[in-house]
Amino acid sequence: MQIYNYFPTLSHLYCNFFSSDNFYLIFFIEICCMLLSILIPEYNQPCMELIKDLQQQCESENIPYEIIVMDDGSTNTDSLNINRCIGQIPNCIFYEQVNNHGRSHTRNQLMKMAKGKYFLFVDSDAQIGKSDFIHQYVQLLPTQSVICGGIFHESSLNKSNTTLRYRYEKWAERRMTSERRQEHPYEHLRTFNYLIPAHIAHSHPFDENITLYGYEDVLQGKSFENDGVEIIHIDNPLCNSHLEENSEFLHKTEESLHTLKQFEDALQSKSSLLALYHRLQRFHLIPLIRLCYACTKPILRINLHSSHPSLLLFQFYKLGYYAHLR
């Protein structure tokens, strides 16, 4: 693992008071004083502007902080070269993994490296839309709760080949106000943007058996619910600035359905698609769903790859794909 960092830690402040022989004492002081660790898993995503914005807001708050970005074996050399410069920003570290290990493994590794009392997880494709984003979290400290800030998307679509993801997210966004999310706090956990006390994070690591895309948020929420960890939803969203092209989003959706099948028992009460599948199964309608899906799959895919995809057909595609997996 390669490390790129420019990190003027608190060791420099204490160098006149402690000799180099007292390294462990200095390290202990750093850990005790570090308030916030911002942890960002990244894969093939340039995120220099995001890091600069986060760093500037942390500086304005005048708090002890660190920003750690971990690359999960990116194959895009352009994004890698850009992100390697993150280590030149004060209090920022860029870790580069040679191989791809998956989102859960990367998040767990970030937690092991972090020294803060609180962890703020942010996805690398996020964009800060407000100047008090960090302040909104800091003013809630100290806390023993998990705090979810939320997510939003641009009001207009920039690329026609990202219509499927855009329409799906904007449809979901209308139902995802902080008040609505708080009605079912564990089901609406999104690891895109949330703050968690370090000791709670360490006792609830991400499930590294999830190697494909999807449902790690849901399983994490279930883990919190089982242990009685409170989740508070607030209105402090980040913008999801990177929307996949229709083909990539459809592929990710299919991957998530494989994950759903793999963890079906754990997700029984957490997935509306599973609930619908079992309802249809009770009426012996699944064979009909499979037949309709097999006959219409080429037409469905044409629609979902178009600039005017139907969300209704998208929902049926997911149901049919899952029924086919079973």
What mean pLDDT, rounded, does the chain reach?
90
Cα–Cα distances (Å) from 268 to 87, 278, 284, 320, 321, in that order, read 43, 10, 19, 18, 18
CB of 97 closer than 8 Å to CB of 68 = no
CA distance 297 to 3: 46
For residue 93, is it within any domain?
yes
| One-letter amino acid for residue 257 of the chain | L
- Domain boundary residue, one of 242, 271, 295: 242
CA distance 76 to 72: 11
Q: In the numeric block, which tokens belong to residue 319?
A: 């149901």
Q: Is the pLDDT of residue 118 over 60?
A: yes
CB of 129 closer than 8 Å to CB of 218 = no
pLDDT (tens digit, 9 = 90+) per residue, 172-230? 888 789 999 999 999 999 999 999 999 999 999 999 988 888 899 999 999 999 999 99
- Domain boundary residue, one of 192, 213, 242: 242
What is the predicted pLDDT for the residue at 2? 61
Q: Helix, strand, or coil here: 215? A: coil
pLDDT (tens digit, 9 = 90+) per residue, 86-103? 999 999 999 999 998 889
**Cα 6 from chain centroid (whole Å):** 25
What is the predicted pLDDT for the residue at 9? 43
Specify the number of domains making up the chain: 2
Residue 109 has, within 13 A of its CA and on its CB side, a CA count of 21
For 252-315, give the DSSP string: HHHHHHHHHHHTTTTTTTT-HHHHHHHHHHHTT-HHHHHHHHHHHHHHHHHHHTSSS--HHHHH
Q: Report pTM.
A: 0.87
Strands (E), 171-243: 193-197, 231-233, 238-240
CA distance 227 to 104: 20
Residues 184 and 214 in one domain: yes
Candidates 154, 213, 212, 218; CA nearest to 191 is 218
For residue 294, is it within any domain?
yes
Which residue(s) pair with 244 in the sheet? none
3-state percent breakdown (helix, strand, coil) of the chain, nearest 5: 50, 15, 35
Q: Is the pLDDT of residue 29 over 90?
A: no
For residue 148, is it within any domain?
yes
Residues 147 and 36 in one domain: yes
pLDDT (tens digit, 9 = 90+) per residue, 121-130? 999 999 998 9
Residues 6+ apart with CB under 8 A from 147: 137, 140, 194, 195, 196, 231, 232, 233, 234
For residue 252, is it within any domain?
no
Instruction: Specify the pairing of strand 193-197 against strand 231-233.
Output: unpaired
Q: How confident is the model over 38-58, as a mean pLDDT?
A: 97
For residue 248, is it within any domain?
no
Residues 195 and 320 in one domain: no
Residues 305 and 159 in one domain: no
For residue 249, is it within any domain?
no
Which domain covers residue 123, as residue numbers? 2-242
- Other CB atoms within a 10 A radius of the CB of residue 62 amount to 8
Worst-scoring range by mean pLDDT, 15-29, 50-64, 198-212? 15-29
- Other CB atoms within a 10 A radius of the CB of residue 279 amount to 10
Cα–Cα distances (Å) from 73 to 28, 97, 125, in that order, read 31, 5, 16
The more confident residue out of 159 and 111 is: 111
For residue 251, is it within any domain?
no
For residue 302, is it within any domain?
yes
Residues 144 and 9 in one domain: yes
Strand ranges of the sheet holding 92-97, from the earlier edge strand across to the other edge:
2-6, 92-97, 65-72, 36-42, 118-122, 193-197, 146-148, 231-233
- Looking at residue 60, which CATH number applies to its domain? 3.90.550.10
Residues 103 and 131 in one domain: yes
Residues 279 and 238 in one domain: no
